[in-house]
Amino acid sequence: MKSMTVKLGNLGNSLRVWGWCCAGLLAVTTATGCRGPRTAAGAGIGGALGGVAGAVVGHQGGNTVTGAALGAATGAVAGGLIGQAEDLRAERDEARHEMYLAAYRQDQWDRALASDEVLRMLDEGVSEDLVCDLLRERGSRFEDRPENIVYLTRRGTSERVIRALQESSVLRRRSRGA
């Protein structure tokens, strides 16, 4: 009886090369740290495009599989590095946006009128119209709590000014995400 030995030949070599290629892609993905979605996507796209380009070049030299494997590994590294650079840029842009937002909020807080400043203007005879206009323009640091409303009412502050304090509160704007 004849033994049934299967010769893998080129198929065995192909599987071995693809195995090494997959191991290389895994190593590249791990080495780049996969910082974010662009790193992984870049490695995947680069690996696929590199594999196709490598197969074409390898075919010209008579070794399609090796060309594809080398192309895929090179493409994955290049794509991963490009994707990682994009992830880093996105992180930097987000940090810069947060910094500008914090500076904007601080500027709004610094410009806003405190309740004691409003009371002092009213005590000094500044008209309610002017006080309300200033509150709309600059905002207030008014904390909309019942005890603050009671305090202002006892001090003789009109409902109109209290509403202007509430509506112009930078604290209220922050809580709404503005």
One digit per residue, the tens of pLDDT, for the chain of length 178 reads: 454 444 444 545 555 555 666 666 566 555 555 567 888 888 888 888 888 888 888 888 888 888 888 888 888 999 899 999 999 999 999 999 999 999 988 998 899 999 999 999 999 999 999 999 999 999 999 998 999 999 999 999 999 999 999 999 988 766 555 5
Same domain, 18 and 40: yes
pLDDT for res 19 = 63
For the chain, the domain total comes to: 2
SS3 113: strand
Residue 126 lies in a domain: yes
The number of C-alpha atoms within 13 Å of 15 and in the hemisphere containing its C-beta is 4
Can you tell me the distance from the alpha carbon of 81 to that of 19, in angstroms, rounded to the nearest whole number?
A: 22
Same domain, 24 and 90: yes
pLDDT for res 117 = 94
pLDDT for res 6 = 41
Q: Residue 76: phi, psi to the nearest 5?
A: -65, -40
pLDDT for res 17 = 58
Per-residue tokens: 88: 């880093």
Full domain range(s) for residue 166: 112-175
Residue 20 lies in a domain: yes
Among 108, 130, 161, the domain boundary falls at 108
Among 52, 82, 108, the domain boundary falls at 108
Q: What is the pTM of this model?
A: 0.54
Same domain, 66 and 129: no
pLDDT for res 130 = 96
Same domain, 71 and 146: no
Find out whether 120 and 78 touch, Cβ atoms under 8 Å: no
Concatenating the DSSP letter of every residue in 87-112 gives HHHHHHHHHHHHHHHHHHHHHHHHHS
